[in-house]
Amino acid sequence: MQLPLSFLLMGKSMSNHTIMVEALRGPCALRSFIQFPFSLFRDIPYWVPALWMDDLNIFRTDKNTAYAFSEAKFWMAYQDGKPVGRIAGIINHRHIEKWGQPYACFGWFDFIDDRNGSAALIKTVEDWVSEQGLKAVHGPLGFTDLDREGMLVEGFEEMSTLETHYNFAYYQDHLRAAGYQKDTNWVE
């Protein structure tokens, strides 16, 4: 079952090390963004990674036609120079125009089990969205409904599919702690 959560910092981590959130700049940073889940889930037999080139093409403005009506920013969180999380913020102007909802979304949200790190990533997206004059953030979503969406809330011991995000059970607790709530259930 998939669950997107929605809601209408730098901070100290649990280990007292500073979490730094940095916007991606350049192709090497994009590679780190795509590579992060490979280290996070490397020992999880149920995780099925996205195809490297598919992710690369989703994030490239010259390959993803959704950039004609969307804008995005990508961030990585670091602790002691080591990547500990990632997140994308996406503004789909067609969605805003069609539905009259001044919302953005977040996606590609992965992180270690450190609430301050996940909160710093979410706050970074929320601050960016607020600076753009928008009122809310929802997700995990992609640029369009053709991207992987949602969050696993049960079935962690089942093999995921190529079109489904895999995540740890603690993800939903981190999002609830950040003020997000369940929007809908998806069953796969």
How distant, in Å, are the alpha carbons of 27, 49, 73, 89 from that of 60?
10, 19, 11, 14
Sequential pLDDT tens for the chain (188 residues): 233 333 333 333 444 568 999 999 887 888 999 999 999 999 999 999 988 899 999 999 999 999 999 999 999 999 999 999 999 999 999 999 999 999 999 999 999 999 999 999 999 999 999 999 999 999 999 998 888 888 988 888 888 776 778 999 999 999 999 999 888 877 77
5-182 domain in CATH 1.20.1250.20?
no
b/e burial code for range 30-51 (CB count within 10 A of at least 16 → b) = bebbbebbeebbeeeeebbebe
Each residue of 12-38: pLDDT tens digit?
Answer: 344 456 899 999 988 788 899 999 999
- Percent of the chain at pLDDT > 90 equals 68
